[in-house]
Structure 1
C-alpha cells in the first residue's frame, strides 16, 4: 500500500471519523456488558418482557433487528459503494490483499464450525456466525493502542471488515432466506428501479432517496428476504459526486447521508442492537457447556479461524509477490490485526438470530460463544500489538 494515499485520499469514514468509530466501539462494549448484567439480575423478566412487547404488530426486538439495523446496513452499503468507486477498494490492485484476506477469514472459520457441528443439521445452520468482523469493536481496540499501530494497518483492517460485511450481506441473502413473496419482492424491485431513475436524473436532494427507500424497506420486510438488506440495496442508488483533487464533494448526497447517519448508528443504533441481543441468562450454564458443538464452533471459528485465514492469506500473497505488506508494519503487527478480526460481535449476533431464532437454546449458546470468542480475540490481539516489533519499511 502506498502510504502517500493516507494523506491525499483519506479513507472515508475511518479516515475522517476514526475517533467516532472507535468511540462507538466502546459504547457498544458498554451496552453488551450492561445487557449481560441486566439479563442476570432481578430485572431480567422486565428486560426480556419489554423486548418481546408488540409495537405496531412487531416486537420491540423485531423493530431493532429489522428496522433500526436497516440503517446500519445502509451505512455498510454507503461505505462499500464509496470505497469501491473512489477509495481504498477503487483499484483491483487495492482490493487484492484485503479481498483475499477477507475471503480466507470467512472460509476458514466456517469450515471449523462446520467440522465441529457436522453431525447435527440444525446446528449447521449457524456455520456463518463466526465469519464476521465487528469493525467498531476492532477499531476501538486499535484506538487504545494509539501510534503503536501504523495507519496502514488501520486501513487494512477497515478494508477487510468492509469486504467481510459485503460477504455477510451475500450470505444472509443466499442462505438465510426461506420463503419469498414475489409480489412484495417485485414492489421492492420497482422502488429500486425508481431510485435508479432518480439517480440518473441527477437529483441531489436526499429526501427522495429516503422516502422511496422506506417503501423499499417495507416491501422487503414482507418479501421473506431479511429487511435489513434493503439498506444495502438503497445505498447503491445514492449518488456519489466528486470534485477535482478531492475524493468526494461535501455536497454529495452519499457524503451528506453517510456523515449525517454515522454518529447515530455508532452511538445509538448499534449499541441498542447490542443491548437488545447480547443479554443471555447464564443460570443453568456451566463451564462444560462451552464445549458443546455450537459455542465451541463459534469460539474456535472466531479465535482460530479468523487469524489463520487472514494471516495465512497475507503471508502467501506477499510471499508470492502478488501484494506488498502494509506500509511500516511488521509481521507480528499484521498477526495482531488478524487476531482482532476475530471480534465478531454485531454481525455474528445478527446472523445467529437468523440461523437459530431469537430466544432458542441454540441462539443463547451461540451468543455465549460469540462473547467468549470475541473477548479472547480482543485480548490476544491487544497483547500482540502492544508488544509487537514495529515495522520499518514496507514490502516483503
Structure 2
C-alpha cells in the first residue's frame, strides 16, 4: 500500500510555496510587513487621498438599539479592540516567561529586570526634563516602551553575529518594558473612572480566575468572559487594552494530562489505527474509513490535553497578530503630513527633543548601565555567550519605540492632532536611527560569536 497520497501537482505546488512559507514564518517578515504598512500610511497621508482615508477611519461601526447607535469609529475599533488582542498575546508571553522562560530564575531575571527599569526610568526622566515647562509634559510615557517585532527583526538580520541568548534577553526586556507601559496607561492615562463598569469588569475577571482554578480549559469560556472584561473596561475609563493583560493572566498554564498518559494514549490509538489500516482494502480511500477519522480526532484531543492552553493559544495568535493586527494599526496610525517646515521645527520642539533623547540616549544608556550595575553588585549574571557589548547594542534596539510609543501618543494627546503628528515624526525618525545604530554596533563592535563561550 502506498504511503504517499499527494498528487504530482500538489508536490510541485508545495515545493514552489515552501520558500514563501518559510519566509512568512520568520520574524523578519513581520518586521518588513510592518515597515511596508508604515510607508503606505505615510504615502497616503501625503497624497491626494489623505482626506478620504481620514473619513474612512472615522466611519462608525456598531449596531443600533431603539434608534440609538452603539459603536465606535474604525480607528477606535483598531486601537481599542484589535490592540486588545495584541496585549492579550503580550500578556501570555509575559506569563510564560515568568513561569518557564529566562525570567523564571532570579540569576537571569535580575539583569533583564534591571535593564528594563533603566530603560523605562531614564527615558521618562529625560523627556520630563525637556518638557517640564511645556504643554507636552503628559507625553512622558511615550519613550518608555520597546517595539519587540522591529527589535527582534533587526537582531535576526545579523544572523550568527549575535548569540541566541541575545534574543531571550531582548524579548524579556521588551516584555517588561511593555508591561511597565501598560501600568503607565492604566494609572496615568485614565481621566475619569466609572466604578460600576470597572466593578463589572473585575467580576468577569474573577469568573475567569475561578474557571481556571476549577480546571476549565474550554476556549469558549475565556472568549465569552474575556469579551465581557474588555467591554466593561472599555466603558470604565481605564483603557480597554488593559483587559487583554488581565484575561491573559487567567489562561491555564497547566496541562490536563501528563506526558506519561499521552505516550500510553498515543500507543493505544496508533495500534487501533494500524489494525484498521491492515484490514482496509487498498482500493478503499481513507475518507471512507469513519473509524480511522475518529481515531485521528482522538489523537488531536489527547495532544491538546497534554499541552497547555497558554502554549496553544499563544502559538495560534502569533501570526494573526503580527501579520494583520500590527500592520493595520500602523496603517491607521503612522501617517503624518511631512513638509520642510515640520521637519525643521522638530529640531527645536521640546516634544520631539524629549522623544529623541528619551529613546536614543535614555534607552541606549539606561539599559546597559542598570544591567551592568546589577552584575557588579552580584545580583545576577548574563546568560551564556552574552557580553556587555551585546547589551549595549540591545540598549540601542530598545530605542525602537514605534508601535507602543505611537499608541501612548494617541492616549496622551487625545484630539491634539498637531502634537500627535510631531510625536509620530520624532518616533519614526528616532526608531530608524536606533535600529541602524544597533545593527552597526552589533555587526562591527561585538566580534564573532563563540558557540562554546560560557560566562
Give the TM-score normalised by the residue count of structure 2: 0.79
Indicate the residue corresponding to 1:214 in structure 2. 227
**Separation of aligned partners in 1, 2:416 and 2:182:** 23
Is the counterpart of residue 310 in structure 1 residue 323 in structure 2? no
**Separation of aligned partners in 2, 1:354 and 1:166:** 16
**Secondary structure at 1:38 match in 2:** helix
**Secondary structure at 1:119 match in 2:** coil
Seen in structure 2, the aligned counterparts of structure 1 residues 359 and 50 have a Cα distance that, compared at 3 Å, is farther
Larger Rg: 2
**Separation of aligned partners in 1, 2:90 and 2:335:** 25
Which deviates more, 370-379 or 50-59? 50-59
Is the counterpart of residue 159 in structure 1 residue 211 in structure 2? no
1:263 to 293, 299, 319: 319
**Secondary structure at 1:126 match in 2:** helix
How far has the Cα of 1:196 moved from its partner? 1.0
**Separation of aligned partners in 2, 1:387 and 1:27:** 27
How far has the Cα of 1:302 moved from its partner? 0.6
Indicate the residue corresponding to 1:276 in structure 2. 332
Superposed CA offset, 1:200-259 (max 9, x none): 1111111100111001111000101000110100111110115569xx986311112111
How many residues are matched?
A: 377
Is the counterpart of residue 55 in structure 1 residue 77 in structure 2? no
Is the counterpart of residue 44 in structure 1 residue 50 in structure 2? yes
- 1:120-139 equivalences under 5 Å are 120=134, 122-139=135-152
**Separation of aligned partners in 1, 2:409 and 2:319:** 26
**Separation of aligned partners in 1, 2:166 and 2:147:** 16
1:374 to 431, 437, 441: 431
**Secondary structure at 2:104 match in 1:** coil
Indicate the residue corresponding to 2:353 in structure 1. 296
Which deviates more, 321-330 or 232-241? 321-330
**Separation of aligned partners in 2, 1:18 and 1:148:** 22
**Two-structure CA RMSD over aligned residues (Å):** 2.0
**Separation of aligned partners in 1, 2:95 and 2:354:** 33
**Secondary structure at 1:223 match in 2:** coil
**Separation of aligned partners in 1, 2:24 and 2:376:** 31
**Secondary structure at 1:285 match in 2:** helix
Superposed CA offset, 1:111-156 (max 9, x none): 1100100112x31100010111000000110111111110011110
Seen in structure 2, the aligned counterparts of structure 1 residues 116 and 250 have a Cα distance that, compared at 3 Å, is farther
**Secondary structure at 1:55 match in 2:** strand
Superposed CA offset, 1:343-387 (max 9, x none): 001110110110001552111111011101101100100111111
Superposed CA offset, 1:307-334 (max 9, x none): 1000111222223333223322343322
Seen in structure 2, the aligned counterparts of structure 1 residues 361 and 387 have a Cα distance that, compared at 3 Å, is same
**Separation of aligned partners in 2, 1:200 and 1:39:** 49
Indicate the residue corresponding to 2:308 in structure 1. 252
Indicate the residue corresponding to 2:417 in structure 1. 360
**Separation of aligned partners in 2, 1:46 and 1:370:** 25
**Separation of aligned partners in 2, 1:148 and 1:270:** 28
**Separation of aligned partners in 1, 2:259 and 2:326:** 35
How far has the Cα of 1:67 moved from its partner? 0.4
**Separation of aligned partners in 2, 1:94 and 1:330:** 13
- 1:327-342 equivalences under 5 Å are 327-342=384-399
- 1:87-98 equivalences under 5 Å are 87-98=101-112
**Separation of aligned partners in 1, 2:29 and 2:313:** 20
Q: Is the 8 A contact 1:192 1:216 kept in 2?
A: yes
2:448 to 365, 380, 390: 390
Structure 1: segments with no counterpart, 5+ residues: 1-16
Which deviates more, 68-77 or 78-87? 78-87
How far has the Cα of 1:335 moved from its partner? 1.3
1:143 to 148, 152, 156: 156
**Separation of aligned partners in 1, 2:227 and 2:214:** 20
Q: Is the 8 A contact 1:249 1:255 kept in 2?
A: no
How far has the Cα of 1:28 moved from its partner? 1.0
Seen in structure 2, the aligned counterparts of structure 1 residues 338 and 19 have a Cα distance that, compared at 3 Å, is farther
Superposed CA offset, 1:60-112 (max 9, x none): 11000000000000001111111112222112223201101000000001111
Q: Is the 8 A contact 2:146 2:174 kept in 1?
A: yes
Indicate the residue corresponding to 1:223 in structure 2. 236
Give the TM-score normalised by the residue count of structure 1: 0.91
Seen in structure 2, the aligned counterparts of structure 1 residues 71 and 128 have a Cα distance that, compared at 3 Å, is same
**Separation of aligned partners in 2, 1:256 and 1:206:** 11
**Separation of aligned partners in 2, 1:26 and 1:154:** 18
**Separation of aligned partners in 2, 1:333 and 1:189:** 42
Seen in structure 2, the aligned counterparts of structure 1 residues 139 and 275 have a Cα distance that, compared at 3 Å, is same
Indicate the residue corresponding to 1:8 in structure 2. none
**Separation of aligned partners in 2, 1:191 and 1:212:** 6
**Separation of aligned partners in 1, 2:121 and 2:221:** 39
Is the counterpart of residue 325 in structure 1 residue 382 in structure 2? yes
**Separation of aligned partners in 2, 1:130 and 1:333:** 21
